Structure 1
């Protein structure tokens, strides 16, 4: 049985997009993966870049709110990947297990970087942390 998992973040531009990409890449046999945000900020180009470096193409994913998720999908798991989304998490039916796993925000970390390479290092670190989390699914959310 394939489970439905939603990765929720504030703007659905970076962390939740990476998590969706990793879940589709590593766990397609276990999960139907989705991502959404409390609001939309567009797809972060640096997130797309570092995921492509790791062999995962997220360039066609869309930044969206939960209102734009496919109708009728019941989520087995909702993973909030930032504190703001965790605090503003919409209501999900009792069947849905909501888990909070906070990851650092690469755009915030990269804001004061002295170079593009230094900025990308923040994105790469968070990308790899998210990959490790997703690789451990579903065991690490049960």
Structure 2
């Protein structure tokens, strides 16, 4: 029996940087086992040029990448997701649509490279760091023995991946 191909959706507010990086990384590194998608709650409508530059510099695909609304993936004709990962704290705190198929979810927050101000070198370095952190998470994710992990164990591993180097710190909740 052939191994299943898992659909993975990466969510961010603007869908212009972190979620785009993740989509491209998984598209290449998970080829054959995963189909990668990305979307945003309030998409910017364009992919950040530095995200494209960094992806291209590391040999990752950029063709077809676009900033899109997460509602595209909540429709009945959308691919059914197996996994949905938020990669920014804002998106993690929002009420997400109901995803068909009840996918496993986790938060893999990293700092927004698009928010970094400074010289061109400093801004590009922020995108390289975000790329590295996301690639790390995806490498651990794609190495998981999906079929042999029980649902609860898999959920725990997904949460642990979100705490790897570069993780954003959860904001204290108001009491």
TM-score (norm 2): 0.74
Shift of 1:40: 1.2
Deviation sequence 1:67-106 (CA, Å, 0-9, x none): 2348231111000000111111322246311111101100
TM-score by length of 1: 0.90
Q: Which runs of 5+ in 1 are unaligned?
A: none
Pair 1:62-2:66 in alignment: yes
Partners of 2:38 and 2:112 lie apart in 1 by 16
- Structure 2 gaps of 5+ residues are 145-156, 160-175
Q: What are the Cα deviations for residues 40-66 of structure 1, in whole angstroms up to 9, with x where unaligned?
A: 111000110011111113253110012
Work out whether residues 17 and 58 of structure 1, in 8 Å CA contact, stay in contact via their aligned partners in 2: no
How many pairs does the alignment contain?
139
Which of 23, 33, 44 in structure 1 is aligned with 2:36?
A: 33
Query: Which one has the largest radius of gyration?
Result: 2
The structure 2 residue matched to 1:7, chosen from 6, 10, 14, is 10
Question: What is the match of residue 25 of structure 2?
Answer: 22
Deviation at 1:30, TM superposition (A): 1.4
CA contact under 8 A between 2:141 and 2:158: conserved in structure 1? yes
Q: What is the root-mean-square deviation in Å for CA atoms of aligned residues? A: 1.7
Residue 134 of structure 2 is aligned to residue 133 of structure 1 = no
Moved beyond 3 Å, runs of 4+: none
Larger relative contact order (CA 8 Å, sep ≥ 6): 1
Counterpart selection for 2:92 from 86, 97, 121: 86
